[in-house]
Structure 1
């Protein structure tokens, strides 16, 4: 029986990069343009990780699906303007991100991303931080149901030649942990993003870490010897 590649999949926003300022600003402008009451920043941060239409539906559950889709398109325009035309990007990496990704890659782990972001947005982030070459599989909201559906993880496993027992999903939200659980993979939470550590554990995280530099040891302990 062929040996499977060991795969570590990362969320993007709130896990690799600190993108909350851009996301919150764009969502506030989207709601304001429609004449809706201002959102609490915490409410916006809570939905980071979901696909955009689903995130807006979560914030406005009583509105029709057509409104959610329309607002999502408006948000994309605002975000693009802030990021590209007004030059507010790139979002900063969290401390240790690049060093740890390079170390995992050197140790023979396949790396992937599973994010509610668009493919265009994800590729821009990776290119800005010169990380593109480290990842063998990129899964985004463009081609999958929203987290916590397991589709992104399942496709990443197939593309990387991996298997569930030797795959780990790393993320900062309960959506990431639930997606990993639904895909029957390991789930590692990080507490520097948008959901609290105890929420991540309740959603299925086998462990929660507070430092990027701890990730290699956690990965090795959970899937390195599998």
Structure 2
């Protein structure tokens, strides 16, 4: 393996944490607060990873600008209220995620980062919830960048860590993550335990797909041995 540092960039919702219950509960509060039926679960979860305004435009395309704004505000309020009500267990780490993070963080030749559709506040809460302080050398959120699949979050990770795109991998569960990787010239590794199936991941540009967290480090090492 090269002595160059490697960068592993993680998506969050659907990749590191199983937040579907939290997402659906917040969406339900937002839509019910406006007297509307909540969109189908598959429609909501299929858009996870996009920035909230983009997600809301996709799941409620008939809503005018005013209603869109209220739904976005209602979702954010609902998400925060659920957290304040003690619903932290609505966003657990996926099995094996912590072990993989700890193993990668313990290596001198690997840096870790995050590229997420979450807000800065939401990501800060998640880090505190799971004791991940100091784990990531770069944290990029939807507050500071265009929505995926724009490459801007990944480019910011590369700049902050000083790693070349050829030495970086994005790990994600959606085609949006895979497309973001392709747009940034970053190797894209898809996972099946999140919100998009294998076909969508491959169509998005995944070079390989894994089925559980025990496969993450072997897949990365296979990639690194080829370089």
TM-score interval (norm. to shorter): over 0.9
- 1:186 matched to 2:187? The reply is yes
TM-score (norm 1): 0.94
Deviations 1:136-182 (A, max 9, x none): 00000010000000000000010011111001000011111111111
**Could you say which residue in structure 2 is the equivalent of 1:118?**
119
**Could you say which residue in structure 1 is the equivalent of 2:196?**
195
1:36 shift after superposition: 2.0
Cα separation, 2, equivalents of 1:38 and 1:121: 22
**Could you say which residue in structure 1 is the equivalent of 2:54?**
54
Q: Is the 8 A contact 1:165 1:223 kept in 2?
A: no
Cα separation, 2, equivalents of 1:117 and 1:80: 12
**Could you say which residue in structure 2 is the equivalent of 1:83?**
83
TM-score (norm 2): 0.94
Cα separation, 1, equivalents of 2:166 and 2:64: 40
Deviations 1:56-84 (A, max 9, x none): 00112233344323321121111111111
1:29 shift after superposition: 1.6
CA-based RMSD of the aligned residues comes to 1.4
Cα separation, 2, equivalents of 1:154 and 1:113: 12
**Any unmatched runs of 5+ in structure 1?**
none
Deviations 1:197-217 (A, max 9, x none): 121011100011011111111
Q: How do 1:60-139 and structure 2 match up within 5 A? A: 60-84=60-84, 86-90=85-89, 91-107=91-107, 108-139=109-140
Mean Cα deviation higher: 216-225 or 157-166: 216-225
Q: Is the 8 A contact 1:6 1:224 kept in 2?
A: no
Residue 146 of structure 2 aligns to a residue whose secondary structure is: coil
Q: Is the 8 A contact 2:33 2:74 kept in 1?
A: no
**Any unmatched runs of 5+ in structure 2?**
none
